């Protein structure tokens, strides 16, 4: 009951209520007009029907994916004029023109200097062969980020291991700390991190934090950023959640980045909240993964962070910084890797989805995937089925206990047909799996913040790191087999459900691209 009242008094509830009222204004106004002025109402209805037809024809002939077309055509035809109104407000726009977002759409001169091509890493890629080179060139072309390397790495099979190492590295910081997380929530984990950040800021270390407003909305006070600023911790709240109907509200920073002194970097699926380290239990045991790298690869993560940080300078009217000061000398490493970011603002292709597709089509023996949400477009579905029909062992692990029941229903709707195609679907029995990774053939793997769903691939700012290393791929492979041993493999019999649930899932699947 306490949580319920807390929700009612939260900023999220107030803003959501105001947004619903804004949506209701259009149909309410039209109903009032038709009651007060019947003839005017008739003319308005005709005009709205013409607008619906024009919009449907426009959508059919647009370049958006088939899934998005269906997801918009259905509400436009079934819910006039609300569907058309929502489409005009929330349709996907390739080139947002908002001033702050434009900062992310062109190369900032000082940050570009951080994208230094590394001949040693490129030479190692040559030794890895054509597939590695193709992936590296694709990332460099789409995001300007060069191939890199690291001299040390550590894979974390649990959030507890990740959190302990992160706290240790933060405590050792000498120059700067960059933290960017989708979720920051007050509790034991954040309490320990916060204490370290305050201490380091007092010592003169440059400490900066970016958090997403919607992701962290229910876990921190509304004046969170101001409190940190008073403690000497510079802070940016990304894309504040406001009661305004705007497509930009869909664009969140879903990234998980920690950079210490430009030498050490962390990424993965783990946010700074107690459920990720299993200090509280929300949905059974929380299975998550992450990775730490030391070396020049950390500079790519510094550049990702600082590019988004320019929004802070824009808000404050500050001049662009000399970002080269954040380049720390690092020795070359033996492990070649490709840290990369993916953003809806940069005008590029969907980098992470494209790399997942490359890994799947390149697989000869196996492809193992962890994802909390499974919402696929036709390209991804075709790639998975093609691989399975080619004799590749394709497995996908999803949660047994959901964090969002409606998204879980959509996940079931998407994985049920895959079972019939020979793809192994495993439900993590102990609880919720939040890990996001793909590993193939003991050679290539990707780990980071991207889920296998439309929001991660199309709408969010994400970060990942791709490795071409047998040892690292082996770590992900071994951990995946352990997860499978704790999971229930689904079959057609276990996937059967009632007619009403099938209808419910089918409806949700139609609107999945908009979730």
Q: Is the pLDDT of residue 79 over 80?
A: no
Residue 393 has what pLDDT?
A: 98
Q: Is the pLDDT of residue 441 over 70?
A: yes
Residue 307 has what pLDDT?
A: 84
Report the predicted TM-score, pTM, of the whole model to 2 decimal places. 0.84
Each residue's pLDDT tens digit, 444-454: 999 999 999 88
Residue 16 has what pLDDT?
A: 61
Q: Is the pLDDT of residue 1 over 60?
A: no
Residue 348 has what pLDDT?
A: 57
Model confidence band, residue 101 (pLDDT cutoffs 50, 70, 90): very low
Each residue's pLDDT tens digit, 206-257: 999 999 998 998 889 989 999 999 999 999 998 887 666 666 677 889 999 9
Q: Which CATH number fits domain 351-514: 3.90.1150.10, 3.90.1170.50, 3.30.870.10, 1.10.760.10?
A: 3.30.870.10
Contact 266, 181 (CB under 8 A): no
Show Cβ contacts of residue 150 under 8 Å, excluding neighbours closer than 6 positions: 293, 294, 295, 296, 297, 298, 333, 335, 337
Contact 66, 454 (CB under 8 A): no
Q: Is the pLDDT of residue 5 over 60?
A: no
Residue 170 has what pLDDT?
A: 98
Instruction: Return the exposure string of 236-258: e unless at least 16 CB atoms fall within 10 Å of the residue's CB, then b.
Output: bbbbebebebebbbbbbbbbbbb
Show Cβ contacts of residue 213 under 8 Å, excluding neighbours closer than 6 positions: 237, 238, 239, 240, 241
Phi-psi sector, 422: left (phi>0), alpha (psi -120 to 50), beta:
left
Phi, psi of 396 (to 5 degrees): -130, 130
Q: Is the pLDDT of residue 24 over 70?
A: no
According to CATH, the topology of domain 99-335 is Endonuclease; Chain A (3.30.870)
Q: DSSP character for 362?
A: H
| Tokens at 99, concatenated | 């001033």
Contact 281, 318 (CB under 8 A): no
Residue 407 has what pLDDT?
A: 81
Each residue's pLDDT tens digit, 368-406: 999 999 989 889 999 999 999 999 999 999 999 988 887
What's the chain's Rg over C-alpha atoms?
24
Q: At what angle do helices 499-510 and 405-420 cross, to 10 degrees?
A: 100
pLDDT (mean) for 119-126: 74
Residue 104 has what pLDDT?
A: 52
Show Cβ contacts of residue 22 under 8 Å, excluding neighbours closer than 6 positions: 243, 244, 245
pLDDT (mean) for 405-412: 82
Domain with CATH 3.30.870.10 in the chain: 99-335, 351-514
Run of H or E residues at 300: helix 297-316
Residue 265 has what pLDDT?
A: 97
Show Cβ contacts of residue 495 under 8 Å, excluding neighbours closer than 6 positions: 412, 415, 416, 419
Strands 234-238 and 256-260: unpaired
Cα distance between residue 423 and residue 323, in whole Å: 46
């Amino acid at each position: 009951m306490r949580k319920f009242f807390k929700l009612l008094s939260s900023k999220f509830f107030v803003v959501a209520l105001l947004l619903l009222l804004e949506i209701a204004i259009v149909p309410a106004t039209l109903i009032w007009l038709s009651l007060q002025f019947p003839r005017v109402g008739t003319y308005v209805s005709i005009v709205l029907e013409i607008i619906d037809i024009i919009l449907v024809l426009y959508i059919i002939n647009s370049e958006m994916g088939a899934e998005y077309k269906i997801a918009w055509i259905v509400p436009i035809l079934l819910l006039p004029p609300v569907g058309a109104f929502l489409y005009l407000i929330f349709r996907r726009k390739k080139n947002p023109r908002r001033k702050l977002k434009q900062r992310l759409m062109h190369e900032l001169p000082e940050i570009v200097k951080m994208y230094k091509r590394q001949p040693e890493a490129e030479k190692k890629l040559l030794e890895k062969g054509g597939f590695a080179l193709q992936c590296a060139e694709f990332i460099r072309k789409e995001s300007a980020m060069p191939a890199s390397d690291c001299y040390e790495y550590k894979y974390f099979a649990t959030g507890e291991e990740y959190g302990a190492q992160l706290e240790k590295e933060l405590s050792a910081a000498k120059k700067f700390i960059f933290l960017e997380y989708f979720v920051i929530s007050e509790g034991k984990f954040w309490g320990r991190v916060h204490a370290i950040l305050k201490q380091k800021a007092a010592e003169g270390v440059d400490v900066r934090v970016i958090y997403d407003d919607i992701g962290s909305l229910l876990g921190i006070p509304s004046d969170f950023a101001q409190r940190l600023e008073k403690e000497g911790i510079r802070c940016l709240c990304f894309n504040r959640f406001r009661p305004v109907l705007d497509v930009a509200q869909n664009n969140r920073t879903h990234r998980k980045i920690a950079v210490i002194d430009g030498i050490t970097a962390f990424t993965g699926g783990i946010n700074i909240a107690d459920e990720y380290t299993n200090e509280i239990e929300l949905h059974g045991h929380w299975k998550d993964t992450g990775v730490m790298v030391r070396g020049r690869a950390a500079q790519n993560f510094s550049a990702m962070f600082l590019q988004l940080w320019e929004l802070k300078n824009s808000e404050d009217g500050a001049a662009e910084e000399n970002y080269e000061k954040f380049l720390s000398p690092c020795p070359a490493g033996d492990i070649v890797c490709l840290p990369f970011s993916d953003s809806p603002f940069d005008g590029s292709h969907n980098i992470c989805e494209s790399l997942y597709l490359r890994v799947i089509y390149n697989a000869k023996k196996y492809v193992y995937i962890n994802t909390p949400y499974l919402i696929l477009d036709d390209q991804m579905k075709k790639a998975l089925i093609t691989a399975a029909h080619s004799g590749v062992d394709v497995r996908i692990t999803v949660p047994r206990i959901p964090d969002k029941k409606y998204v879980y229903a959509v996940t079931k709707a998407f994985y049920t047909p895959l079972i019939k195609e020979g793809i192994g679907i495993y439900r993590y029995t102990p609880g919720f799996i939040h890990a996001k990774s793909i590993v193939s053939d003991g050679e290539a793997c990707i780990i980071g913040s991207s889920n296998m769903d439309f929001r991660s691939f199309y709408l969010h700012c994400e970060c990942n790191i791709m490795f071409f290393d047998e040892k690292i791929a082996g770590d992900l492979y071994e951990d995946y087999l352990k997860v499978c041993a704790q999971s229930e493999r689904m079959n057609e019999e276990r996937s059967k459900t009632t007619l009403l649930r099938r209808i419910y899932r089918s409806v949700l699947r139609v609107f999945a691209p908009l979730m």
